[in-house]
Chain A
Amino acid sequence: MTTVLAGDVIASRVENAVSGVVEEWNSRDVWVKPEAVLDVCRFLKEDSDLRFDYLVSISAVDYIEYFEMVYHLLSMTNNHSVVLKAKCWGREDLSVPSIKDLWQGADFQEREIYDLMGINFSGHPNMKRLLLWEGFPGHPQRKDYLEPPR
């Protein structure tokens, strides 16, 4: 079975490596500041005990007041996993550092989130829409998206 690492353990290790970035944690998840996502991920990937070598998925959830980025990370070497989250407050000009340099697998997933949720990933070399066409008005996965009248 894949062990889900406890949130408080991860939180304290992250706080030791990159101080001042952990916002809150519970038994399963850790919340970090959105601008620190790249640094935290680099630590989780390169730390010799944790070794999160595999990015399972990136999701974004629209909670109206804020967007939550959810990173599911896995260590194939140690068979353990963690859920990393980051809250981006506001609805316009949202930006999160891209983690494509760490995991190539983030490429399409970040482009999809940009396309459907409208969150920019700074440092991504090809930040274009993935599924919809260029010039599509709005970001349809947002909760306040309304279909334009036909």
Chain B
Amino acid sequence: MSIRTEPITINLGPQHPSTHGVFRMRITFDGEIILDVEPIFGYLHRGSEKLAEERTYAQVITLTDRLDYVSSMSNNLAYVLSVEKLAGIQPPERAMYLRVLVAELQRIVSHLVATGFFLNDLGALATPLMYCFREREKILDLFEILCGARITLSYMRVGGIFQDAPPEFWPELRDFLGYMPGYIDEYDRLITGNEILLSRTKEVGILSAEQAVNSSISGPVLRASGVNWDLRKADPYDVYDRMDFEIPLGTVGDNYDRYLMRIAEMRQSLRIIEQCVEQIEDGPIKAEVPALVRPPIGDAYGHVEGPKGELGFYLVSDGSISPYRFKIRSPSLINLTALRDMLLGSKLADMIVTFGSMDINMGEVDR
């Protein structure tokens, strides 16, 4: 005898502990199996692109802080690189080293937050998250020494950085570089081989390489599917071409691979930071740039490999003091494109885990 079943549609969010902001999904189930997913967002839309058209090029830096609010440094960097490309400004060496250094610190912060919340979503409530936040706190302290802020940093400027690292920054950074590898080993021991993690994440939420490329996926999610693409290697900016580091690659593209990518990338970031500390030399930290930058008429697209993927800014200048068009290529938004394909056919309980493994940030999705 067969039992007649009917699809049922349920609503998840917008305010749900696992949605990392305000995100809503309308999901159709057949029993426990997902038949259809419709992501609905925009609850955090502030019109950043429109706001930027009314601000000077320097003022826009503060808007970029508020896109992906756990990786302000990377956002600052992508924006100032775009303006420098548009206006033809070359920052001095020391500024480029410091920018790479802080961008890699920020990558560690973002990956720690991603890992902590991912385990939270898996049901390991708060404990791993608190471990991850312990180290995040140390990096935020370093940022505080650099620029006085912890989250909305606005540390970078067109043509350089806001100020040189004060003398007390370097011993603190050395300390951090001393104990951080041990902490990453600790995550490995605590989490990576954990049986619950393995059984919940292996072969779940698989994203194939072809699908990832076709859906414009970028960042750790793309590399977890085995696609060797990292802008730090493929199109190096600032001083990444002088750094020796590896790009970790996944094989299957499941939730486990995406988790592993972030752990492995943190180790590579530490390598880059160490090389920055070795190679950095004294010198100026800002190019001669007028307070009101007026780039020549034209357009430019600048991008960085942010912690979540390719963050790009397409800027159009009409020769005035504010951008005529300020378009954000947001990795979180575009990575969401593949969410439906990853969820179809999987179970209700795996949905939150797969969504968590994408590591999206609603500030950047809605802008």
Contact = CB atoms under 8 A, between A and B. Distances in A.
Contact of A56 (B211, B216, B299): B216
A105 to B, nearest CB: 3
B234 interface: yes
Contacts of A103: 214-216
B124 interface: no
B298 to A, nearest CB: 10
B216 A1 contact: no
B42 A133 contact: yes
A53 interface: yes
A19 interface: no
B45 A131 contact: yes
Contact of A76 (B215, B227, B337): B227
Contacts of B338: 104
Contacts of B217: 105
B337 A57 contact: no
Nearest to B211: A104
Interface in B194-242: 211, 213-217, 227, 229, 234-236
A54 interface: yes
A94 interface: no
Contacts of B341: 104
Interface stretch (B93-101, B275-283, B328-336): B328-336
B325 interface: yes
Given A72-B314, A132-B45, A53 B213 contact: yes
Q: Of residues B42, B216, B227, which shows the largest number of chain A Cβ atoms within 10 Å of its Cβ? A: B216
Contacts of A70: 299, 314
Sort chain B's interface into a size bin.
35 or more
A138 to B, nearest CB: 12
A105 B214 contact: yes
Interface in A90-136: 103-109, 112, 116, 129-133
A14 B327 CA distance: 27
Interface in B30-66: 41-42, 45, 47, 49-50
Contacts of B324: 61
A2 interface: yes
Q: Of residues A76, A105, A107, which shows the largest number of chain B Cβ atoms within 10 Å of its Cβ? A: A105
A133 B42 CA distance: 8
Contacts of A55: 216
B327 A57 contact: yes
Nearest to B303: A56
A56 B45 contact: no
A109 B314 CA distance: 14
Contacts of A106: 216
B301 interface: yes
Q: Of residues A53, A55, A108, A133, which shows the largest number of chain B Cβ atoms within 10 Å of its Cβ? A: A108
A61 B316 contact: yes
Contacts of A12: none
B366 interface: yes
Contacts of B91: none
Contacts of B50: 140-141
A103 B229 CA distance: 18
Given A57-B314, A108-B334, A1 B325 contact: no
A83 interface: yes
B227 A132 contact: no
Nearest to A106: B216
Given A70-B314, A108-B336, A140-B47, A54 B234 contact: no
20 contacts: A2-B235, A53-B213, A54-B213, A54-B216, A55-B216, A57-B327, A59-B314, A61-B324, A70-B299, A70-B314, A79-B234, A83-B301, A104-B214, A104-B215, A104-B338, A105-B337, A108-B337, A112-B333, A131-B41, A131-B367
Interface of B: 41-42, 45, 47, 49-50, 211, 213-217, 227, 229, 234-236, 299, 301, 303, 310, 312, 314, 316, 324-325, 327, 329, 333-334, 336-338, 341, 366-367
Closest 9 CB pairs of A and B: A105-B216, A131-B42, A57-B329, A2-B235, A104-B215, A59-B327, A131-B45, A61-B325, A59-B314
